[in-house]
A and B are shown apart, each in its own frame.
Chain A
Amino acid sequence: MKKYIVSRVGYMIFTFLLIATFTFFLMQTLPGSPFNDERLTEVQKQVLYERYGLNEPMAIQYVKYLGNIVKGDFGVSFQFDGRAVTSIIGERIGVSAVLGAQSLIVGTVLGLFLGIIAALRHNTFIDYGAMIIAVLGLSIPNFVLAGLLQYWIGVRLQWLPVAFWDGFAYSILPTIALSAFVVATMARFMRTEMLDVLGNEYITTARAKGISELKVVLKHGLRNAMIPIITILGPLTVALMTGTLVVEKIFSVPGLGEQFVKSILTNDYPVIMGVTLFYSFLFILVILIVDLLYGVIDPRIRLAGGGQREGK
Chain B
Amino acid sequence: MKVNEAEFTDDLFEEAGQQFKEKKKSGRPSSSFWRDSWIRLRKNNGAFIGLILIIAMILLAIFGPMMNSYGFDDQDLTRANLPPKVPVLENIPFLGMNGVDIRGMDQYEAKGVTDYYWFGTDELGRDLWTRIWQGTRISLYIAFLAATLDLIIGVAYGSISAYYGGRVDNVMQRIIEVLMGVPNLIVVILLILVLKPGIVSITLAMVITGWVNMARIVRGQVLKLKGQEFVLASRTLGAKDQRLIWGHLIPNSLGPIIITTMFTIPTAIFTEAFLSFIGLGLQPPIASLGTIVNDGFKMLRIYPHMLLFSSVIISLIMISFNLLGDGLRDSFDPKMKK
A–B contact, 8 Å CB criterion (strictly below): yes
Q: Give residues in A with beta carbon < 8 Å to B.
A: 11-12, 14-15, 18-19, 22-23, 26, 29-31, 123, 135-136, 138-141, 143-144, 147-148, 150-151, 155, 195, 238, 241-242, 245-246, 249-250, 260-261, 264-265, 272, 276, 279-280, 283-284, 287
User: Does B181 sit within 8 A of A, measured CB to CB?
Assistant: yes
User: Does B300 sit within 8 A of A, measured CB to CB?
Assistant: yes
Q: Which of B265-324 contact A (CB under 8 A)?
A: 266, 270, 273-274, 277-280, 293, 296-297, 300-301, 304, 307, 311, 314-315, 318-319, 321-323
A79 to chain B, nearest CB (A): 15
**For B314, what are the chain A residues with a Cβ–Cβ distance below 8 Å?**
141, 144
User: Does B140 sit within 8 A of A, measured CB to CB?
Assistant: no
User: Does B190 sit within 8 A of A, measured CB to CB?
Assistant: yes
User: Does B338 sit within 8 A of A, measured CB to CB?
Assistant: yes
User: Does B3 sit within 8 A of A, measured CB to CB?
Assistant: no
Q: Are A246 and B193 in contact (CB under 8 A)?
A: no
Known contacts being A23-B190, A144-B311, is A18 close to B278, with CB within 8 Å? Answer: no
Q: Are A238 and B194 in contact (CB under 8 A)?
A: no
Q: Are B190 and A276 in contact (CB under 8 A)?
A: yes
Q: Are A19 and B182 in contact (CB under 8 A)?
A: yes
Q: Are A141 and B181 in contact (CB under 8 A)?
A: no
Q: Are B274 and A26 in contact (CB under 8 A)?
A: no
- 10 closest Cβ contacts across the A-B interface? A139-B318, A15-B181, A144-B311, A139-B319, A283-B183, A242-B185, A140-B315, A261-B278, A265-B279, A238-B183
Known contacts being A141-B318, A144-B315, A264-B193, is A238 close to B184, with CB within 8 Å? Answer: yes
Most-contacted residue by chain A among B181, B196, B301 (CB, 10 A): B181
Known contacts being A12-B181, A139-B266, is A279 close to B322, with CB within 8 Å? Answer: no
Q: Can you give 26 contacting A-B residue pairs, CB < 8 Å?
A: A26-B190, A29-B194, A135-B46, A135-B322, A139-B318, A140-B319, A141-B270, A143-B293, A144-B293, A144-B311, A144-B314, A147-B293, A151-B304, A238-B184, A241-B185, A242-B186, A246-B278, A250-B297, A260-B278, A261-B279, A264-B189, A265-B279, A279-B186, A280-B183, A283-B183, A287-B180
Q: Are A143 and B273 in contact (CB under 8 A)?
A: yes
Q: Give residues in B with beta carbon < 8 Å to A.
A: 46, 177-178, 180-187, 189-191, 193-194, 196, 266, 270, 273-274, 277-280, 293, 296-297, 300-301, 304, 307, 311, 314-315, 318-319, 321-323, 326, 336, 338
Contacts A11-B181, A144-B293, A242-B185 aside, 15 further interface pairs with beta carbons under 8 A come to: A26-B190, A139-B318, A139-B319, A143-B293, A147-B307, A147-B311, A148-B311, A151-B304, A151-B307, A195-B336, A242-B186, A264-B280, A276-B190, A280-B183, A283-B182
A258 to chain B, nearest CB (A): 10
A201 to chain B, nearest CB (A): 15
A23 to B315, CA, bound (A): 33
Nearest A residue to B319, CB-CB: A139
Nearest B residue to A242, CB-CB: B185
Known contacts being A11-B178, A264-B189, is A245 close to B278, with CB within 8 Å? Answer: yes
**For A140, what are the chain B residues with a Cβ–Cβ distance below 8 Å?**
315, 318-319
Q: Are A135 and B278 in contact (CB under 8 A)?
A: no
Known contacts being A144-B311, A245-B278, is A151 close to B181, with CB within 8 Å? Answer: no
Known contacts being A147-B307, A261-B279, is A141 close to B182, with CB within 8 Å? Answer: no
Nearest B residue to A267, CB-CB: B193
Nearest B residue to A288, CB-CB: B181
Which listed residue (A30, A148, A260) contacts B194, Cβ 8 A? A30
**For A276, what are the chain B residues with a Cβ–Cβ distance below 8 Å?**
186, 189-190
**For A261, what are the chain B residues with a Cβ–Cβ distance below 8 Å?**
278-279
Nearest B residue to A16, CB-CB: B181
Most-contacted residue by chain B among A15, A29, A195 (CB, 10 A): A15
B122 to chain A, nearest CB (A): 16
**For B323, what are the chain A residues with a Cβ–Cβ distance below 8 Å?**
135
Q: Are A135 and B326 in contact (CB under 8 A)?
A: yes
A288 to B307, CA, bound (A): 40
A19 to B178, CA, bound (A): 10
**For B277, what are the chain A residues with a Cβ–Cβ distance below 8 Å?**
143, 246, 249
A23 to B191, CA, bound (A): 9
